[in-house]
Structure 1
């Protein structure tokens, strides 16, 4: 199984070097996650951040770096945001659309633009985060306030740029997608804290073993569901017409178009949590007893109570909306239909051209709805767990498990492909 694949991979010198390089880069990430930024009162910072909401979501992705306010506090999120923005702009900006169709050189140019956008967004996010946490900064002199703000923002930006470079190095010289593995490592690093918190709650009697057993069952069900949905696809049969060129016959073979159920991945969740947590984030800028702050903290936060129902409903609807939105960007039925027609392919029973694109659009909408509902259920599970248990800081929930399982599956597939190239037969068929 998985252990056998890892054992076989370790026996191959080239793959062993890639695994060792990947582990070394991830170790560098974990070391950097504990390098603190100066001028910060850690105790006051912990009290300001509290638990739940947007801070805990991004803190989970950063492996705890945000609450420690280390040099990697922003994690790789500015890069992800920049990648999403560039992808969206590719649809509406002719220059980017042209680059996306120019092969390897075009992809390199888009990657370069993504790096520039990452640095800009990193500085904006870093400066905004520094301003938001300014009360926790220990500034020696009042006239050094803004220079220190800028310095801290630059350090945070440099940390994000370094993680971006680290991820690219893992992708190029290691195993798996580097950016995904950094997020994976950050999430897995939070497991000991979750276990420690559960043990503490058990000792003081605020949590019982039945709740722990329930959490284990829910986690197992989520993992099984994630694997089922992530690997699930609708295969559209395609038949290619025979063509006679001289004395040779071309075509005539059958194939299929694999349409993934979860085409958008975890991106709708990231978009959704960013928007739905916006009111609660804005509320931190107002006095705690103000009307807006009271409303946002009661009705638009994930607090595990009945008052969080509007939050969960809006959150789920946003996830479903962004699932359709992002899938529509990444999959274009018209282009697929045109390519099929160009190379003599057709779907049995469906006429080439417009009828084919309409058919693909209809099928894609059905499976995208299923994928969006699945993502919405996965995303709201942490709140449901908090509602039925006394655990108030368990953000290692469905979203995190979705990312962890997806990245693990993708990494194992890449390792398996490299083994198959060397005449190994692994557990993935």
Structure 2
């Protein structure tokens, strides 16, 4: 519920900002400025909250993150225009452009492989379960307790491609504020964070800021996951081998999570920043368009999450039968 109210607050602020910015483009606003702002803000907030409800419905149904899927569909629809421009540019000189086409295809494969590595990479922590026996030895009173060693996967990138989206929106915020308020502060900040100009600062400032925020958003843990895992292990009569239950387990899992997220955030920031640089280079040598390798990262991550959720969804009926068989 808190997330819903937080989304509503952000939607209201963004809607009022956009409606005020659109005053200069509206004929109706020439004589009804207040009504224009109120009506436009209401419609934008209504659309934003409807989209949020659709995303939550998709997520709760077990088919991945709804917001990522909707963004992925939007990106895929935009690729049709890019494909049309590429075919138009290379239609008359395919024979002389094959080195460029092969190079772009190779980079595309490398970016895709990097996205798979970042999304699927994890560190496995083995566990020991006590307190239950195998079905074959359940009737024997003196049979030893069976130790099973499954694992806890600590993903190097547990948030998917959300850090890329959050960072992109955050760095675009000064440009929106500058277009509305026209203040020197926002204008200077807009120029500093603009990689296409060197008026306010070097383009490397933007890319370093982008890499830093992607890294920070990847390692940030708002849920205190090690504490939750430790409590869950105690309820299940499980433990990490050679680690005492309780505070020692929390400290150990915190150390593992910090290490995996650090290297995962570093890898994701390098991959995302390299994709931005490649897009900028291709935009310079092409007719104002690029492949959009950053979008490729988002698409690959969303597809992998969808496949993982679909596999888990298919396993649920079989798992329910097993639990019913053993009276759970």
Settle same-fold status: TM greater than 0.5: yes
Instruction: Tell me whether 1:365 sits opposite 2:258 in the alignment.
Output: yes
The answer to whether the Cα contact below 8 Å between 1:226 and 1:405 also exists between their aligned partners in 2 is yes
Using a 3 Å threshold, how does the CA distance of structure 1 residues 339 and 181 change in structure 2: closer, same or farther? closer
The residue that corresponds to 1:162 in the other structure is: 50
Using a 3 Å threshold, how does the CA distance of structure 1 residues 247 and 180 change in structure 2: closer, same or farther? same
Instruction: Tell me whether 1:256 sits opposite 2:160 in the alignment.
Output: no
The answer to whether the Cα contact below 8 Å between 2:279 and 2:291 also exists between their aligned partners in 1 is no
Offset at residue 233 of structure 1 (A):
1.3
The answer to whether the Cα contact below 8 Å between 2:163 and 2:218 also exists between their aligned partners in 1 is yes
Offset at residue 376 of structure 1 (A):
1.1
Offset at residue 347 of structure 1 (A):
1.9
Secondary structure, counterpart of 1:277 in structure 2 = helix
Q: Give the Cα separation in 1 of the matches to 2:240 and 2:85.
A: 55
The answer to whether the Cα contact below 8 Å between 1:323 and 1:372 also exists between their aligned partners in 2 is yes
Q: Give the Cα separation in 2 of the matches to 1:146 and 1:382.
A: 43
The residue that corresponds to 2:322 in the other structure is: none
173-182 or 375-384, which deviates more = 173-182
Using a 3 Å threshold, how does the CA distance of structure 1 residues 395 and 139 change in structure 2: closer, same or farther? farther
Secondary structure, counterpart of 1:302 in structure 2 = coil
The answer to whether the Cα contact below 8 Å between 1:320 and 1:373 also exists between their aligned partners in 2 is yes
The residue that corresponds to 1:123 in the other structure is: 12
Residue pairs, 1:3-402, within 5 angstroms? 110=1, 113-139=2-28, 141-142=30-31, 144-170=32-58, 176-202=64-90, 210-241=99-130, 247=141, 252-285=147-180, 293=187, 295-303=188-196, 307-325=202-220, 328-389=221-282, 390=284, 391=286, 392-394=288-290, 396-398=292-294, 400-402=295-297
Secondary structure, counterpart of 2:244 in structure 1 = coil
352-361 or 237-246, which deviates more = 237-246
Q: Give the Cα separation in 2 of the matches to 1:276 and 1:371.
A: 22
Q: Which has the higher relative contact order, 1 or 2, with Cα contacts under 8 A spaced 6 or more apart?
A: 2
Match of 2:305 among 389, 410, 413: 410
Offset at residue 237 of structure 1 (A):
0.7
Structure 1-normalised TM-score?
A: 0.61
Q: Give the Cα separation in 2 of the matches to 1:153 and 1:337.
A: 45
Deviations along 1:13-52, whole A, 9 cap, x unmatched? xxxxxxxxxxxxxxxxxxxxxxxxxxxxxxxxxxxxxxxx
In structure 2, runs of 5+ residues without a counterpart are 319-328
Q: Give the Cα separation in 2 of the matches to 1:226 and 1:316.
A: 16
Q: Give the Cα separation in 2 of the matches to 1:386 and 1:177.
A: 26
Secondary structure, counterpart of 2:202 in structure 1 = helix
Number of equivalent positions: 305
The answer to whether the Cα contact below 8 Å between 1:333 and 1:357 also exists between their aligned partners in 2 is yes
Using a 3 Å threshold, how does the CA distance of structure 1 residues 331 and 401 change in structure 2: closer, same or farther? farther
Q: Give the Cα separation in 2 of the matches to 1:188 and 1:169.
A: 22
Q: Give the Cα separation in 2 of the matches to 1:223 and 1:363.
A: 27
Structure 2-normalised TM-score?
A: 0.77
Offset at residue 353 of structure 1 (A):
2.6
Q: Give the Cα separation in 2 of the matches to 1:230 and 1:163.
A: 25
Secondary structure, counterpart of 2:127 in structure 1 = strand
Deviations along 1:327-372, whole A, 9 cap, x unmatched? x223422332344345432222323333322222222111101211
